[in-house]
């Protein structure tokens, strides 16, 4: 969709110009890669998780990224403290419910964050997102994998129930706030062989939210940009080590014009 | 030894086909590299250390990797909880006693894990492994460095006393369960200039244990594979930054056939 | 200055020969990169933060690196315990007050470490360093950015008040102990697009302090070396992913002779 392609270019330009501070409370595995990715694209990352400073830190930020990948109860408490302050100050939040559904601690922590803060975008894979359905959800019993239209309908109901824009990533990403449905087809198979590409896509959504108040267009354009970086990396790398480094390079070198041309965003 | 070379190829093929879940409770320094190495070789890594979820998480896993590199008491408690559940469910455990011998906390923590869980493979360098001897060990007073045969004999006694297969890495790796002795000569000098290659070798042993119930052959073939990746990386890299990236590439590109040809495994 | 260029070469040679153990209590984001950088330059890094082992660990070390980048109260307590033991044993300490000034927890923690341990070198950017002024400091009211001479004068007063050598990094680094003033002009713009280059420069200062008891020359030569590695990396890399890998390579390949020729150190 042409308007979103233009918006993608505008967002990337704004990130490079304004260098928004993105506060991350994320997992140990991806902290370095995420920080490097945010820096490469032009944002200013900060990682801080101490309960004694997260509220002060997030107050300076343009967006808050929460990620439960290597959670403990203390970290979840810090995420909620930061999230509440962000909610109060109308700073957008993106949540990555890594592994939700795999253990009770993860599912419950993701639900707790969702219920106690205002999450603008919830970014995960289909099984993580579906694990967050309430027992009384109207989506229960719906076969989410029964065709793409059905999936979009289910996602739309869930987005409305969770009051968040959902960004469900996969070969084609699905972004919906319950009213609009956008699909992003950028990406490269090697992204699945690098740890934390999902988490880093979430951080990219954070950077885009810092410059674009529309959570659907921020999420879609961020995922298109991140996926395009994968495509550019895949042009010259054939194995995951080189690929992950070239992705960082691409996040730095892709211009707004290239992004506008290269992004594969469609609206239903 | 030809049979182990064939087994190496079979193991690598099985990892690529079955993508076993490998649960890691490891140190902060190597988490990212370890996760990327496991992904590159074909396994599915998960990092989780909260006491409230490790038992549930390990129950899904094909192997458990414990590493005390940046330990605290809380982390050791989580390792033991996960290790006990793994022991109960007959999920193989590999332990890396990083820095055992350097501080009392490390030595005691490694011993505690060994005594409270069933460790299939203990992977470390000679000084780390020797620090785990009991005061009454029959190895006491034996000069372990007095020739390779003496070293193997000492290791064999210790393996029997600790009821674990030992994988003592160095220029030539020594693997023994007290009965069989296997040596692996794969590797590259630059591996010593990259942080966490030992820890990542341990994680590779975890992936191989997930598909090979024989702890001696799992450890030997994993170390041969990991060392071969170092050799392949060393063919084109001459400094540690490029080398560490090319090692990830090699873990992804080495085929079972290449491994069968390239592995340098000998049995005594 | 020729004498410092010679000292730089001597220091690098000494690190490669003696492989000093550098104990780091640092942040999660940079642990892996810092460890790899220290290994690449020839030092022996160890990361350990458990309150139960830091005193024992630092006793083996040639230098202690403290970094509050992802601090919590427990970590600061461990830093102080390690720092006191290092002070007692006359092991040099370098402190990186990451984000001091951004939150109260950071500013207070940095001050606490400074007051309870003997910090040889304090390495940060201008705003971090200035946040550590006491309310009664003679530097208060001085406009630090009003020309380079004024900045050096302010820094000198602060160095004397804090009883530490200050290493204030920027396009040109300023090193002063209140008596001597040294400037280092090595570096590359892409260093600002890689996370943790400041933190890693601090760790390099740690390695140089382990072989050079003069904190001004240790800090200046370490920063010249680290900046030169950036220049070498920038010769072949044009984006931050490739650049960060080539910097690790350069830390490994730069010879003492190259460093002596390439370092840009001036004394006032």
Lookup: tokens for C236 = 């072949």
Q: Parallel, antiparallel, or unpaired: how do β-strands B173-176 and A21-25 relate?
A: unpaired
Q: Parallel, antiparallel, or unpaired: how do β-strands B21-25 and C121-124 relate?
A: unpaired
- Give the tens place of pLDDT for each residue, A134-186: 877 776 555 445 566 778 899 999 999 999 999 999 999 999 999 999 999 99
Task: Kindly give, in sequence order, each residue whose CB lies less than 8 Å from that of residue C103, ignoring residues fewer than 6 positions away.
Answer: A48, A53, A56, A57
Residue A57, H or E segment: helix A54-59
Task: Describe the crossing of helices C240-253 and C215-236 by its angle, rounded to 10 degrees.
Answer: 130
- Kindly indicate the confidence band of residue C146, based on its pLDDT and cuts at 50, 70 and 90: low
* CB atoms C40 and B240 under 8 Å: yes
- Kindly indicate the confidence band of residue B145, based on its pLDDT and cuts at 50, 70 and 90: low
Q: Name the average pLDDT for chain A.
A: 95
A234/A242 Cα distance (integer angstroms): 9
- Looking at the complex, report in whole angstroms how far the Cα of residue B57 sits from the nearest Cα belonging to chain A: 6
B202/B196 Cα distance (integer angstroms): 10
- Give the tens place of pLDDT for each residue, C5-34: 999 999 999 999 999 999 999 999 999 999
* CB atoms B32 and A32 under 8 Å: yes
Domain extent for B262: 2-267
E strands in chain A: 21-25, 44-47, 63-67, 93-96, 121-124, 165-168, 173-176, 181-184, 265-267
Chain B partners (3+ C-beta pairs within 8 A): A, C
Chain A, chain C: beta-carbon pairs less than 8 Å apart: 81
- Give the tens place of pLDDT for each residue, A187-203: 999 999 999 999 999 99
A37/C114 Cα distance (integer angstroms): 33
Q: Name the average pLDDT for chain B.
A: 95
Lookup: tokens for A152 = 């979009």
Give the pLDDT mean for C205-211. 98
* CB atoms A29 and B31 under 8 Å: yes
Residue of A218, A232, A217, A219 whose CA lies nearest to A262: A232
C119/C163 Cα distance (integer angstroms): 8
Q: Give the nearest chain C residue to B239 (CA atoms).
A: C249
E strands in A5-96: 21-25, 44-47, 63-67, 93-96
* CB atoms C50 and B73 under 8 Å: yes
Phi, psi of C176 (to 5 degrees): -150, 145
Residue of B182, B255, B196 whose CA lies nearest to B65: B196
Q: Name the average pLDDT for chain C.
A: 95
**Positions in chain A short of pLDDT 50:** 143-144
* CB atoms A239 and B253 under 8 Å: yes
* CB atoms A240 and B39 under 8 Å: yes
For B241, the closest of C56, C60, C247 (CB atoms) is C247
Name C176's bridge partners: C166, C181
* 3-state SS class at A146: coil
* CB atoms A50 and C240 under 8 Å: no
- The ipTM, to two decimals, is 0.95
Name C95's bridge partners: C66, C122
- Looking at the complex, report in whole angstroms how far the Cα of residue A12 sits from the nearest Cα belonging to chain C: 16
**Which CATH number characterizes residue A73's domain?**
3.40.1190.20
- Give the tens place of pLDDT for each residue, C99-140: 999 999 999 999 999 999 999 999 999 999 999 988 777 765
User: Tokens 């009965």 correspond to what residue?
Assistant: B179
- Give the tens place of pLDDT for each residue, B234-250: 999 999 999 999 999 99
pTM of the model as a whole: 0.96
pLDDT at C216 over 60: yes
Q: Which residues of A touch B81 (CB under 8 A)?
A: none
Furthest CA-CA distance within chain B = 48
Residue A268, pLDDT score: 85
pLDDT at C1 over 70: no
pLDDT at B146 over 90: no
State what percent of residues in chain C have pLDDT above 90.
Answer: 91
Residue C13, pLDDT score: 98
Residue A2, pLDDT score: 79
Q: Which of A87-91, B153-157, B215-219, C25-29 has the lowest mean pLDDT?
A: B153-157
* 3-state SS class at B178: coil
Residue B151, pLDDT score: 82
- Give the tens place of pLDDT for each residue, B16-59: 999 999 999 999 999 999 999 999 999 999 999 999 999 999 99
Q: Is C7 left (phi over 0), alpha (psi -120 to 50) or beta?
A: alpha
pLDDT at C76 over 70: yes
Distance of CA C69 to the CA centre of its chain: 13
* CB atoms B242 and C252 under 8 Å: no
Q: Parallel, antiparallel, or unpaired: how do β-strands C63-67 and C121-124 relate?
A: unpaired
Q: What are the strands of the beta sheet with B121-124, ordered from one edge?
A: B44-47, B21-25, B63-67, B93-96, B121-124, B165-168, B173-176, B181-184, B265-267
Name C93's bridge partners: C64
Q: Is B68 within 8 Å of B107 (Cβ atoms)?
A: no
Give the pLDDT mean for B79-83. 98
Residue C197, H or E segment: helix C197-209
Q: Which residues of A touch C195 (CB under 8 A)?
A: 32, 35-36, 39, 45
Hey, how many other C-beta atoms are within 10 angstroms of the C-beta on C147? 10
Looking at the structure of chain A, the number of domains it has is 1
Q: Is A227 within 8 Å of A184 (Cβ atoms)?
A: yes
Q: Give the nearest chain C residue to A48 (CA atoms).
A: C70
Length of chain A: 268
Give the pLDDT mean for B6-12. 98
For C28, the closest of A28, A60, A249 (CB atoms) is A28
């Amino acid at each position: 969709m042409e308007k979103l392609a233009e918006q993608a270019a505008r967002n990337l330009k704004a990130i490079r110009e304004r260098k928004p501070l993105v506060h991350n409370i994320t997992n140990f595995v991806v902290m370095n890669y995420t920080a490097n990715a945010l820096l490469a694209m032009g944002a200013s990352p900060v990682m801080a998780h101490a309960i004694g400073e997260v509220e002060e830190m997030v107050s300076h930020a343009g967006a808050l990224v929460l990620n439960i990948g290597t959670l403990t109860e203390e970290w979840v408490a810090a995420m909620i403290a930061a999230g509440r302050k962000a909610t109060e100050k109308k700073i957008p939040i993106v949540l990555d419910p890594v592994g939700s559904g795999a253990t009770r601690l993860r599912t419950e922590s993701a639900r707790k964050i969702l219920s106690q803060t205002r999450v603008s975008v919830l970014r995960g894979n289909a099984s993580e997102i579906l694990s967050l359905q309430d027992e009384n959800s109207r989506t229960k019993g719906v076969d989410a994998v029964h065709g793409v239209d059905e999936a979009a309908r289910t996602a739309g109901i869930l987005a409305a129930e969770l009051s968040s824009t959902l960004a469900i990533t996969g070969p084609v990403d699905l972004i919906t706030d319950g009213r609009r449905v956008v699909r992003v087809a950028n990406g490269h198979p090697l992204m699945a062989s690098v740890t934390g590409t999902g988490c880093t896509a979430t951080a990219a959504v954070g950077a885009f939210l810092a410059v674009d108040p529309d959570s659907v267009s921020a999420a879609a354009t961020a995922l298109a940009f991140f996926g395009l970086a994968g495509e550019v990396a895949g042009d010259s790398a054939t194995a995951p080590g080189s690929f992950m480094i070239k992705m960082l390079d691409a996040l730095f070198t892709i211009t707004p014009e290239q992004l506008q041309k290269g992004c594969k965003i469609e609206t239903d």
